[in-house]
Structure 1
Amino acid sequence: MCAALGVSRSGLHAWLTRQPGQRIRDDEAILSKAHASFVASDRTYGARRVWRDVLAEGVACGLHRIERIMRENALRARPRRRGLLTDEGDRAAASPNLLERRFAADAPNRKWIADFTYIWTAEGWLSVAAVIDLFSRCVVGWSMQTSMTAQRVTDALVMAIWRRGKPDALLHHSDQGSHYTSEALQRLMAEHGVTCSMSWSGNV
């Protein structure tokens, strides 16, 4: 190995046994604070907001250092979830909250809840829409793509229906985001006899 790298054996041994320098130890301490802030923000904070949180914790560092540490550790802010009601047309499509936080089901395919999120992958941020059966707490349908659109949540429901068969007396619950009030999703539920239930945007 030493011959391949063009270094002496003593130099390689010294490098292997050398303790991390003060700057590396400081970076590790800053990373711990930055990661805590980043996760607490639901991975939506960029470097500037994380930097303010780190400073509030009493750790002195510069904004550029936070940017470098976040970049090196793949702490990349994802977009905040969209889909809040923006006009009266969306409000008219909203359904009442029939679930009323009763998150238990006495049989499969009686209550499904739907939501979407963003996950970090080797290809970058991907949006994932999922449908969960409250009886088993299993994901019964999902759809993943680089951008979140109404088609993603519709595809997730299509998969759930395909995997579970035509539903009978099924309640589908989500928030009132525009993805879930979309005409395509509402039409799909109506065609399969699925009862729609919604809570306020961003809540279940």
Structure 2
Amino acid sequence: MSGYYAWLRNPHSQRYYEDQRLLALLKPSWLESGRVYGYRKVHHDLRALGESCSRHRVARLMRAQGWHAQVGYRRRPGCHVGVTHNVVTNALDRQLMYLLQIKFG
């Protein structure tokens, strides 16, 4: 029963508090990148601060928060490069199937 009462006093584990501390360090790195960096570069920034944790832990924490890398941020959705082509009307009223039959007979 003593484990239950210990849980009532403090329902979160030590790992939970460590994750919260890491999240406080991860968020500025992710925001300073313009929300572009993924877990690999954020992990690299965390290592530069002197913290030690695995890339998988950083990935798990970022995934839980809904933070992810922006992939293909140079191209906007719906923006197509180039000129649209218009189909030319059949001014000579040619029948393509008839021409193919004559040619390949």
**Are residues 1:27 and 2:19 paired?**
yes
- Tell me the equivalent position of 1:121: none
**Are residues 1:43 and 2:35 paired?**
yes
**Are residues 1:71 and 2:71 paired?**
no
Larger Rg belongs to: 2
Q: How far, CA to CA, are the matches of 1:64 and 1:39 in structure 2?
A: 20
Q: How far, CA to CA, are the matches of 1:37 and 1:65 in structure 2?
A: 16
Shift of 1:76: 1.3
Q: How far, CA to CA, are the matches of 2:8 and 2:68 in structure 1?
A: 31
- Summarize the Cα distance change of 1:80–1:16 in structure 2 as closer, same or farther, 3 Å threshold: farther
Q: Contact 1:44–1:80 at 8 Å: present in 2 too?
A: no
CA RMSD of aligned residues (A): 2.8
Shift of 1:183: 5.2
Identity of aligned residues (%): 30
How many aligned residue pairs are there?
A: 83
**Are residues 1:149 and 2:96 paired?**
no
Structure 1: which 5+ runs fail to align? 1-7, 84-146, 152-177, 185-204
Structure 2: which 5+ runs fail to align? 85-105
Provide the TM-score with structure 2 as the length reference.
0.63
Higher helix share: 2
Q: How far, CA to CA, are the matches of 2:48 and 2:27 in structure 1?
A: 14
- More relative contact order in 1 or in 2 (CA 8 Å, sep 6+)? 2
Higher strand share: 1
Greater than 2 Å deviation, 4+ residue runs: 13-17, 19-22
